[in-house]
A and B are shown apart, each in its own frame.
Chain A
Amino acid sequence: MSRHQYIRNLDYQDALDEYEGYSDEEDDELSPEDRELMTQGTAAVQAALGVEASKVTVAQIEEALWHYYYDVDKSVAYLISKFVNPAPKPAKAQPQQRTGKSAICALSLADHAVLLDHDLPTDWATKTSDLTDTAAPAIFGSSSRMGSRCQTSSQPRPSLAHLFHDMPWGNVPAHRATTFLPPPIPRGGLLGGSGTASKMSKLQALAAARKKKAQEQSAASNAVAEAVTGLNGLSVGDGAAPSKSKSWARVEIDFDGPLYGVDGQGRPPPEDDRSSLDWFEVRRRKRDDSDRYEDVVVLFPNLPQSARDAFAKPSPDDIVLAAQAKSQTKAGQKATPASKTKKTAPAAGNGDAGAEEPKAVEAPLPKSRNLDVLSEFERHKGKKSASFVVVGHVDAGKSTMMGRLLLDLKVVDQRAVEKLRKEAHTIGKSSFALAWVLDQHAEERARGVTIDIATNRFETDKTIFTILDAPGHQDFIPNMIAGASQADFAILVIDASVGAFEAGLKGQTREHSLLIRSMGVSRIIVAVNKLDMVSWSQERFEEIKNQMSGFLSMASFQAKNVAFVPVSGLHGDNLVHRSSDPAAAWYTGPTLLEELEKSEPSGRALTNPLRMTASEVYRTMQSPVTVSGRIDAGSLQVGDALLVQPSGEKAYVKSLLADDMPADWAVAGQSVVLHLSHIDPIHVRVGDIICDPAKPIARADRFTMKALAFDFLTPMQVDVHRGRLHAAGRIEAIPALLDKVTGAVAKKKPKIVKPGTVARIVVQLESQVPLEAGQRVVLRSGGQTVAAGLLE
């Protein structure tokens, strides 16, 4: 049984967003602008159709316009192919084989069905139409609402009696009489959304389910659909006589009204493809530019909320999933013929990619300038961008130092700092005033401790630097890992005051150094801080320098990549300006800023496929889905189609900021803010990976890694960190101990891995996450880092 049954994995955010989604997009029919466009469009289409216009209803025209974003030509082409000169209809196939299950979905009709044996046909038909007209039972509530919406249609709604016009009432042989049983549970059935042709992974299924929810379908409309399908089943499903086919075809033509529509939406009778043509917008879209196509079924984008609410009962995910699994094959097969005419293979990774995508309600896709980003970058000759993480034991003075640096560089002005000083003073934390430049959250200020990464930016003549101020407290190491994963190099801040250095060495000075090294940072500037507190003792500085050099070389930092600067973050000595304190005169080396400028950012994977981890996701004026982070590899530009993993949703770059400046493109190494369009906020979360749809990152819930043990490893539960991502998992197996130098297998299946050794381990996660070889992963347990390494 699935985990879902064990754990109700309720996601309130999703639920909420979905709900908002409904009201935003669907609840009120059309905005005035839309209405205006619609009226113009309808007139234009009718004009274009000329005499043929009588063959299509206004509602159909509107439907078409809606899907083609008021593109008159496309709508006309569509309408002609569908209504005016429809393709010859395939010969009516076998009487449908109704499974017991579909039949029982007639829900409350079961009672009436008993009448079949006894009552006269007219009677029955009247009853049925009564039902639909009065909307008495809930199931028909929606169809009658549908009806009222379609009153705009020029055609009067035909009587339902036609449906049963040549039914062999009362003569149904006993062996074919349907026995109606009460439905066990409301079934999901085909809810539309995405029906992938091939098997879906659990996560894909989940994503699809989410997406589906986000679209307008609900179990409600589906139940309506099934009910009515059941009803149609009554009329034609049993008929084995050849004449039936004729009657069925006629029914279709007559009933382009709401009732039939609802039928089409739900579960059209098998083997009858045409029913779907009229009422589905079925398209196939190529997903991820792999060879798989996904059928996209857009159903009644305008279906009023009330209709959908008729049955709106929160149905457990399982039901949706199960139902989807059942229906997708049918839906997929069904949709295929319909989609042939419209199949378009979107061009890889540029703005045209989704032109045909039936994102019904969105604005047009952002335009791409189709730049050759890499040659733009070559030509650009701008400043290089580099980011560094500031790490060290709690209270070493990291935030204060960065606040001071920003003040001295005039990125923040003296007045702002004075204001902070006053505020800090009122809560008795005046010594934290400079730290507050970075620590902006109320909790951080009240407690005088950094909790999450703070990002800031400053420029020198050559470089745009991004500061990632990490928290030092052990509890917030997950956040520190997120920061370190975006850094080119690091500043390690050490509190030189008596006892503090020693405490740090046992604590996060040590853990942070090991972590950043195993996360790929090789250049480190050690800022020996608070030297004002030890009267700028050169001896103390040398002592710390010696111990730290030894430790850092053990942690495999090369001596040439390590620099030491004696500083006072609080007073600003040796940060931007050389210390004016005579006691500090012994130091003549570079200042912290000079050391920063000497640091070369690590090599950029410019030509690799795009990868970017979402560090922050929030709402802005430009887009409800604004994502910030650093591009790890590749490049992107405005108009690009992107794929968000693990949700598997596509999005487009509406506009972007590169290193805080509006830009048309950005490359690996830059910190960017992306304003996305055509994606719902529920599909993008902190820690997600944004990638190239043509070369997407895969998802997995199990991986093998080459890990350096920081502590004893056995098969055990661990927290798995990769950048912002924080997942629960466990070490499932330890296939081998490896030689630290050659990487060759030293011992198979060790019982335990000792600290400092390297092993190959297999980790099983609780959920699927985007993973690929070469990623750097950190494993923690009980608040300690136990291992770090590379995915194989």
Chain B
Amino acid sequence: MRFASKRQTLQSVDGDDGVSLLIVEPEDMWHAHNLISEGDVINAPAWRKVTLTTATGSTAAKSVRTNLSIRVKSTFFDPLVSELKVSGTVVNENDYVNVGQHHTITLRYDKADIKFTIWKQTGWDSVALQQLKEALSEDRPDAIAAVVMHEGLANICLITEFRTVIKQRLEVSIPKKRSAASEASKGMENFYDKTLAALRANVDFSIPRTLLLASPGFVAQDFRAYMAAEATRRGDKELARIAKEAVVVHSSSGHVHGLNEVLKSPEVLKTIGNAKFTTETNLMDTFHERLRKDDGRAWYGTKPVEKAVAEGAVGRGGGVLLVNNAFFRSLDVATRKKYVAIVDKVKADGGDVRLLSSDHESGKRLDALGGIAALLTYPMFDLDEDDEEEEEETERVPEQEMAAMVI
């Protein structure tokens, strides 16, 4: 996204101002989705259906293009086509609409840059500004394509800086029969064939693009060999290039969360360097590592994090607050203010605030933990025990004692 006005800068964005932005790439709709919350006012071009009455008295329906300002009631983002639908009620009247009428504006990337303006209900607080800053960042790396697969299952994904889009999920049942090896390998071939077709249909390889093939066992490797063989058979130069450049990575399952392992594998770091998502993946790993150590320096969930931040434990010298961006999407004004205050406190204490993208697998891991977590600079205990009676920390059970398990 870009500011619509050349003179506008991030620094000059002021609390209650409207900020006008240009949609310059499909990814922008995702950012718009994060920026626009309920209660905000947006002004954008819209199509409105109107009924015209002709001289003869007959009526005809016609769509007219008009700029509308609406107060946002809800938003819906379609990740596959990168389209954001914003519904709300009209706040300024014009020839076609009256105040209070309902309208849904669809924002999408178009060849001509589309301009829209946002007025934040809560003003441009630090979280909104951080989101705006991310939305403005220039020269994005191209999306990486990945196929995460295991026998009979393939997920075709596109990984951009901020999100992972599952373009297609493919399930092919492979006949299994003992002593009918040929049937099964025919089944695998069929599976590869379909995966390849889906990959070509969903990912544009005309521009240089990294392709990751990830699977447990040999599936990804075999798929790559299959692509190369097909390229020769069909005399398809492009496919030959794709197969040659594809990076085979190990993942322990073909489900999409296998990407967590993929994105931190050395092969990937070598090819794509330190992208936002690899940092996020690493952060989540660090968090889980700390949690395992149980040294009182990793906490998740709103209450414990709130307490830790209030004590100043998430500050200079390694304090990190991890929040999912989706977390802010659906908050009411009061709750949002509370969380913005937490964010501001961490920043004031010199800690690091990371807004993780909930549309990446690392963000999903944070989601599982309630969308908010913190790495503390010093240990704190019992942050989660307010209404519960004090309990003895369960002794770390040596492996030897697994015997007594109830199972």
Chain A contact residues, CB within 8 Å of chain B: 1, 5-13, 179, 181, 440-443, 447, 451-452, 454-456, 473, 475-476, 478, 514, 517-518, 553-556, 615-619, 628, 685-686, 706, 708, 712, 714-717, 719, 726, 728, 730-732, 737-738, 740-741, 743, 746-752, 754-758, 780, 782-784, 788-790
Determine the chain B residues whose CB is within 8 A of the CB of A783 once the complex forms: 216, 252-253, 261
Q: Does B394 contact A (CB under 8 A)?
A: yes
Q: Which residue of A lies closest to B287 (CB)?
A: A714
Q: How far is the CB of B354 from chain A (nearest CB, A)?
A: 19
Q: In this complex, which of B185, B364, B394, B398 has the most chain A Cβ atoms within 10 angstroms of its Cβ?
A: B394
- Among B176, B304, B368, the residue within 8 A (CB) of A616 is B176
Q: Does B37 contact A (CB under 8 A)?
A: no
Task: Let me know if B175 and A618 touch, CB within 8 A.
Answer: yes
Task: Let me know if B406 and A728 touch, CB within 8 A.
Answer: no
Determine the chain A residues whose CB is within 8 A of the CB of B252 once the complex forms: 475, 719, 780, 782-784
| CB contact under 8 A between A758 and B406, given known A715-B369, A716-B365 | yes
| CB contact under 8 A between A789 and B170, given known A619-B175, A780-B252 | no
Q: Does B207 contact A (CB under 8 A)?
A: no
How far does the alpha carbon of A717 sit from the alpha carbon of B258 in the complex, in Å?
10
Closest 9 CB pairs of A and B: A783-B252, A475-B216, A756-B397, A728-B255, A618-B177, A717-B257, A616-B176, A618-B175, A715-B368
Interface pairs (27), CB distance under 8 Å: A8-B169, A9-B169, A10-B168, A447-B218, A456-B178, A476-B217, A514-B402, A517-B407, A615-B176, A617-B176, A618-B175, A618-B180, A706-B406, A712-B291, A717-B260, A717-B361, A717-B368, A726-B150, A746-B391, A746-B394, A748-B388, A751-B291, A751-B299, A751-B300, A754-B396, A755-B399, A789-B407
Task: Let me know if A740 and B404 touch, CB within 8 A.
Answer: yes
Determine the chain A residues whose CB is within 8 A of the CB of B399 once the complex forms: 554, 755-756
Task: Let me know if B401 and A756 touch, CB within 8 A.
Answer: yes
Q: Encode B42-86 as 1/0 by CB contact (under 8 A) with A.
A: 000000000000000001010000000000000010111000000
Chain B contact residues, CB within 8 Å of chain A: 59, 61, 76, 78-80, 150, 166-173, 175-181, 183-185, 194, 198, 216-218, 222, 250, 252-253, 255-257, 260-261, 288, 291-292, 294, 299-301, 304, 361, 364-365, 368-370, 384, 388, 391, 394, 396-407
Q: Which residue of A lies closest to B188 (CB)?
A: A443
How far does the alpha carbon of A553 sit from the alpha carbon of B391 in the complex, in Å?
30
Task: Let me know if A747 and B176 touch, CB within 8 A.
Answer: no
How far does the alpha carbon of A556 sit from the alpha carbon of B405 in the complex, in Å?
7
Task: Let me know if B217 and A728 touch, CB within 8 A.
Answer: no
Determine the chain A residues whose CB is within 8 A of the CB of B261 once the complex forms: 782-783
Determine the chain B residues whose CB is within 8 A of the CB of A686 once the complex forms: 173, 176
Q: Which residue of B lies closest to A514 (CB)?
A: B402
Task: Let me know if A782 and B260 touch, CB within 8 A.
Answer: yes
Determine the chain A residues whose CB is within 8 A of the CB of B194 once the complex forms: 12
- Among A12, A451, A556, A719, the residue within 8 A (CB) of B402 is A556
Task: Let me know if B218 and A443 touch, CB within 8 A.
Answer: yes
How far does the alpha carbon of A517 sit from the alpha carbon of B402 in the complex, in Å?
11
Q: How far is the CB of B22 from chain A (nearest CB, A)?
A: 27
- Among B384, B397, B401, the residue within 8 A (CB) of A749 is B384
Task: Let me know if B403 and A455 touch, CB within 8 A.
Answer: no
Determine the chain A residues whose CB is within 8 A of the CB of B294 once the complex forms: 752, 754
Task: Let me know if A747 and B172 touch, CB within 8 A.
Answer: no
Q: Which residue of A lies closest to B176 (CB)?
A: A616
How far does the alpha carbon of A243 sit from the alpha carbon of B75 in the complex, in Å?
52
Q: In this complex, which of A616, A731, A780 has the most chain B Cβ atoms within 10 angstroms of its Cβ?
A: A616
| CB contact under 8 A between A442 and B185, given known A10-B168, A181-B61 | yes
| CB contact under 8 A between A6 and B166, given known A685-B173, A706-B407 | yes
Determine the chain A residues whose CB is within 8 A of the CB of B80 once the complex forms: 5-6, 8
Determine the chain A residues whose CB is within 8 A of the CB of B79 once the complex forms: 6
Q: How far is the CB of B403 from chain A (nearest CB, A)?
A: 5
Task: Let me know if B407 and A708 touch, CB within 8 A.
Answer: yes
Task: Let me know if A616 and B407 touch, CB within 8 A.
Answer: no
Task: Let me know if B168 and A7 touch, CB within 8 A.
Answer: yes
Q: How far is the CB of B307 from chain A (nearest CB, A)?
A: 13
How far does the alpha carbon of A558 sit from the alpha carbon of B180 in the complex, in Å?
39
Counted as pairs of residues, one from A and one from B, with CB atoms less than 8 Å apart, the total is 188
How far does the alpha carbon of A737 sit from the alpha carbon of B391 in the complex, in Å?
12
How far does the alpha carbon of A60 sit from the alpha carbon of B384 in the complex, in Å?
73
Task: Let me know if B176 and A618 touch, CB within 8 A.
Answer: yes
Task: Let me know if A740 and B405 touch, CB within 8 A.
Answer: yes
Task: Let me know if B365 and A717 touch, CB within 8 A.
Answer: yes
Task: Let me know if A451 and B407 touch, CB within 8 A.
Answer: no
- Contacts A440-B179, A758-B405 known; 16 new A-B pairs at CB < 8 A: A5-B78, A10-B168, A12-B172, A13-B172, A179-B59, A473-B217, A478-B253, A514-B402, A518-B407, A556-B403, A616-B176, A708-B406, A737-B394, A740-B404, A748-B388, A752-B292
| CB contact under 8 A between A554 and B300, given known A7-B169, A10-B169, A618-B175 | no
Determine the chain A residues whose CB is within 8 A of the CB of B166 once the complex forms: 6-7
Q: How far is the CB of B160 from chain A (nearest CB, A)?
A: 16
Determine the chain B residues whose CB is within 8 A of the CB of A748 once the complex forms: 388
Task: Let me know if A747 and B391 touch, CB within 8 A.
Answer: yes
Determine the chain B residues whose CB is within 8 A of the CB of A726 once the complex forms: 150, 253
Q: How far is the CB of A438 from chain B (nearest CB, A)?
A: 9
Q: How far is the CB of B405 from chain A (nearest CB, A)?
A: 5
Task: Let me know if B173 and A13 touch, CB within 8 A.
Answer: yes
Determine the chain B residues whose CB is within 8 A of the CB of A714 once the complex forms: 288, 291, 300, 368-369
| CB contact under 8 A between A731 and B291, given known A5-B78, A554-B399, A758-B406 | no
How far does the alpha carbon of A521 sit from the alpha carbon of B406 in the complex, in Å?
14
- Among B150, B198, B260, B407, the residue within 8 A (CB) of A790 is B407
How far does the alpha carbon of A788 sit from the alpha carbon of B406 in the complex, in Å?
11
Task: Let me know if B257 and A712 touch, CB within 8 A.
Answer: no
How far does the alpha carbon of A475 sit from the alpha carbon of B194 in the complex, in Å?
23
Q: How far is the CB of B223 from chain A (nearest CB, A)?
A: 12
Determine the chain B residues whose CB is within 8 A of the CB of A747 once the complex forms: 391, 394
| CB contact under 8 A between A618 and B171, given known A728-B255, A756-B402 | no
How far does the alpha carbon of A447 sit from the alpha carbon of B255 in the complex, in Å?
25
How far does the alpha carbon of A49 sit from the alpha carbon of B403 in the complex, in Å?
78
Task: Let me know if A8 and B168 touch, CB within 8 A.
Answer: yes
Q: How far is the CB of B373 from chain A (nearest CB, A)?
A: 10
How far does the alpha carbon of A706 sit from the alpha carbon of B364 in the complex, in Å?
24
Determine the chain B residues whose CB is within 8 A of the CB of A750 once the complex forms: 394
Q: In this complex, which of B181, B253, B384 has the most chain A Cβ atoms within 10 angstroms of its Cβ?
A: B253
Q: How far is the CB of B368 from chain A (nearest CB, A)?
A: 4
How far does the alpha carbon of A732 sit from the alpha carbon of B178 in the complex, in Å?
38
Task: Let me know if A11 and B368 touch, CB within 8 A.
Answer: no
How far does the alpha carbon of A686 sit from the alpha carbon of B151 in the complex, in Å?
12
How far does the alpha carbon of A771 sit from the alpha carbon of B189 in the complex, in Å?
32
Task: Let me know if A440 and B178 touch, CB within 8 A.
Answer: yes
- Among A447, A715, A738, the residue within 8 A (CB) of B370 is A715
Q: How far is the CB of B48 from chain A (nearest CB, A)?
A: 16
How far does the alpha carbon of A706 sit from the alpha carbon of B396 in the complex, in Å?
19
Task: Let me know if B260 and A554 touch, CB within 8 A.
Answer: no
How far does the alpha carbon of A784 sit from the alpha carbon of B252 in the complex, in Å?
8
Determine the chain A residues whose CB is within 8 A of the CB of B400 once the complex forms: 554
Task: Let me know if A554 and B407 touch, CB within 8 A.
Answer: no
How far does the alpha carbon of A454 sit from the alpha carbon of B179 in the complex, in Å?
9
Determine the chain A residues whose CB is within 8 A of the CB of B301 once the complex forms: 751
Determine the chain B residues whose CB is within 8 A of the CB of A179 once the complex forms: 59
How far does the alpha carbon of A476 sit from the alpha carbon of B218 in the complex, in Å?
10
How far does the alpha carbon of A553 sit from the alpha carbon of B288 in the complex, in Å?
31
Determine the chain B residues whose CB is within 8 A of the CB of A10 once the complex forms: 168-170, 198
How far does the alpha carbon of A789 sit from the alpha carbon of B218 in the complex, in Å?
29
Task: Let me know if B404 and A616 touch, CB within 8 A.
Answer: no
How far does the alpha carbon of A758 sit from the alpha carbon of B391 in the complex, in Å?
17
